[in-house]
């Protein structure tokens, strides 16, 4: 009785050989390191919050309404 040929796939993490077999609980990854490492990267990407510049507390950034009126309101007539 011929023994079934083990199916070897490419590990999506390290591009190495991974045994795609019930004995390999980390399939299709080659091992625990690649499996958990990939998950951590995915989770980190999933829950990453874009950093926003918090400059609203700067008083000199506050624009006063009505302060943009031109100083020269009367045109010169000669």
**35 touches Zn ion (CB under 5 A):** no
Element (H, E) at 39: helix 32-46
**13 touches Zn ion (CB under 5 A):** yes
**24 touches Zn ion (CB under 5 A):** no
Residue 2, token pair as written in the block: 């011929």
By CB under 5 A, which span of 20-28, 33-41, 46-54, 64-72 interacts with Zn ion?
Answer: 33-41
**34 touches Zn ion (CB under 5 A):** yes
Cβ nearer to Zn ion, comparing 11 with 59? 11
Using DSSP, state whether 6 is helix, strand or coil: coil
Q: How far is CA 67 from CA 13, 27, 56, 64, in A?
A: 59, 66, 19, 6
CB 29 within 8 A of CB 12: yes
Q: How far is the CB of 34 from Zn ion (least distance, A)?
A: 3
Q: Which residues bind Zn ion (CB under 5 A)?
A: 11, 13-14, 16, 30, 34
């Amino acid at each position: 009785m011929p023994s079934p040929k083990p199916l070897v796939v490419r590990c999506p993490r390290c591009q190495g050989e991974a045994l795609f077999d019930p004995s390999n609980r980390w399939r299709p990854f080659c091992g625990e390191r690649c499996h958990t490492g990939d998950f951590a990267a995915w989770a980190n990407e999933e829950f990453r919050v874009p950093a926003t510049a918090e400059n609203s507390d700067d008083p000199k950034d506050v624009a006063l309404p009505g302060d943009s009126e031109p100083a020269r309101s009367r045109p010169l007539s000669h």
